[in-house]
């Protein structure tokens, strides 16, 4: 019983991270039609920023989170302007460009941090929250959970309560019809990749003290993001959040009882099962045309 409750809490915290990067991937795909293969590397850059500035150079954690967000947002904006916009009529070209960026960022990370063993960031928040005498949640995880929830809440507010957020959803649904409303598609693409980048940077920064940091950590991230996106329904932001939480719980439980590798295999199987039984995902809607 204790193990189950503990796993649920760990799963929810994990779900917050998954949601942060999966939502960004969905947003960029929806608005720009580009599958951003480098999304995992954006998360990696966020984590490296924390390692370099906080763990190596002692800059306080909170300002470093902001720097990570800004840095990754800027990388995203540069990708939009110089790669995705010039290739916007050719989705395959955009995809290949994003794979190129993936390798470039991995190499840059190796240049900055060397190719030795994975790096660890000592948790800035020490101590453990103890609930009901038996549930143990390190404060670092409590902090990460509330910050990711706040990030997702802000995104939800932006998308549903502001005119710019409606425009973003409109472009994801129908670019041409959006242009006819006077919406500047290039500007909305910049916002989408900026928001997606900011969320990826935040996810990376929050994960840094809780995970192994190395140039290839983006690999697991992108696999998770794809599983979550497909289970949630490609193009559905709320689906991505729900699927992130479900998948994180699923992944955590299997990790606890059978180990991490089995958990990833089961995750990919889950994706295959969803594709066979309900290809549109749990929240996806069949797109006509």
Partner 1 sequence: MLLEIKDMQVHYGNVAALKGISIEVGEGDFVTLIGSNGAGKSTTLRAISGLDHPSAGIIVFDGKRIEKMSPDKILKLGIAHAPEGRRIFKDLSVMENLLLGAFVRDDQEEIKKDLEAIFIHFPRLRERKDQSARTMSGGEQQMIAIGRALMSRPKLLLLDEPSLGLAPVIVQEISRILVDINKQGVSIVLVEQNAELALELAQHGYVLETGTIALDGKAKSLMDNDHVRKAYLGI
Residue 179 in contact with partner 1, rule: CB under 8 A: yes
Binding residue for partner 1, selected from 182, 276, 277, 286, defined by CB under 8 A: 182
Residue 86 in contact with partner 1, rule: CB under 8 A: no
Binding residue for partner 1, selected from 184, 259, 265, 268, defined by CB under 8 A: 184
**Residues 6 or more apart in contact with residue 95 via CB below 8 angstroms:** 34, 35, 37
Closer CB to partner 1, residue 85 or residue 219? 85
* Nearest distance from C-beta of residue 263 to partner 1, angstroms: 33
* Nearest distance from C-beta of residue 184 to partner 1, angstroms: 5
Binding residue for partner 1, selected from 167, 217, 228, 241, defined by CB under 8 A: 167
Closer CB to partner 1, residue 142 or residue 173? 173
Residue 277 in contact with partner 1, rule: CB under 8 A: no
Closer CB to partner 1, residue 119 or residue 175? 175
The number of residues that bind partner 1 (CB under 8 A) is 18
Closer CB to partner 1, residue 268 or residue 285? 285
Closer CB to partner 1, residue 168 or residue 243? 168
Residue 174 in contact with partner 1, rule: CB under 8 A: yes
Residue 149 in contact with partner 1, rule: CB under 8 A: no
Binding residue for partner 1, selected from 127, 150, 181, 273, defined by CB under 8 A: 181
How far is the CA of 128 from the CAs of 43, 60, 103, in angstroms? 26, 20, 38
Return the range that interacts with partner 1 (CB under 8 A); candidates 19-27, 181-189, 197-205, 244-252: 181-189
Q: Which residues pair with 138 in a beta bridge?
A: 128
Binding site for partner 1 (CB under 8 A): 163, 166-167, 169-170, 173-174, 176-185, 285
């Amino acid at each position: 019983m204790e193990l189950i409750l503990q796993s649920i809490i760990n799963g929810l915290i994990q779900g917050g991270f998954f949601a942060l990067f999966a939502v960004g991937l969905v947003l960029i795909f929806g608005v720009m039609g580009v599958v951003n293969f480098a999304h995992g590397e954006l998360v990696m850059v966020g984590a490296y920023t924390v390692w370099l500035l906080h763990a190596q150079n002692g800059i306080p954690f909170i300002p470093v989170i902001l720097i990570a967000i800004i840095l990754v947002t800027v990388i995203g904006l540069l990708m939009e302007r110089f790669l995705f916009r010039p290739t916007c009529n050719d989705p395959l070209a955009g995809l290949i460009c994003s794979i190129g960026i993936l390798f470039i960022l991995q190499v840059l990370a190796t240049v900055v941090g060397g190719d030795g063993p994975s790096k660890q960031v000592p948790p800035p928040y020490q101590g453990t929250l103890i609930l009901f005498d038996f549930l143990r949640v390190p404060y670092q995880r409590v902090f990460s959970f509330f910050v990711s929830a706040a990030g997702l809440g802000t995104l939800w507010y932006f998308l549903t309560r502001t005119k710019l957020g409606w425009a973003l959803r409109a472009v994801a649904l129908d670019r041409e019809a959006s242009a006819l409303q006077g919406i500047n598609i290039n500007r909305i693409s910049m916002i989408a990749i900026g928001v997606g980048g900011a969320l990826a940077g935040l996810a990376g920064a929050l994960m840094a003290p809780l995970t192994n940091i190395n140039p290839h950590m983006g690999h697991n991230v992108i696999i998770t993001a794809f599983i979550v996106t497909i289970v949630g329904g490609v193009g559905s932001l709320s689906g991505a959040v729900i699927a992130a939480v479900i998948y994180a719980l699923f992944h955590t439980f299997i990790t606890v009882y059978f180990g991490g590798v089995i958990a990833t295999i089961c995750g990919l199987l889950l994706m295959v099962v969803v594709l066979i039984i309900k290809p549109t995902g749990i929240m996806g809607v069949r797109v006509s045309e």
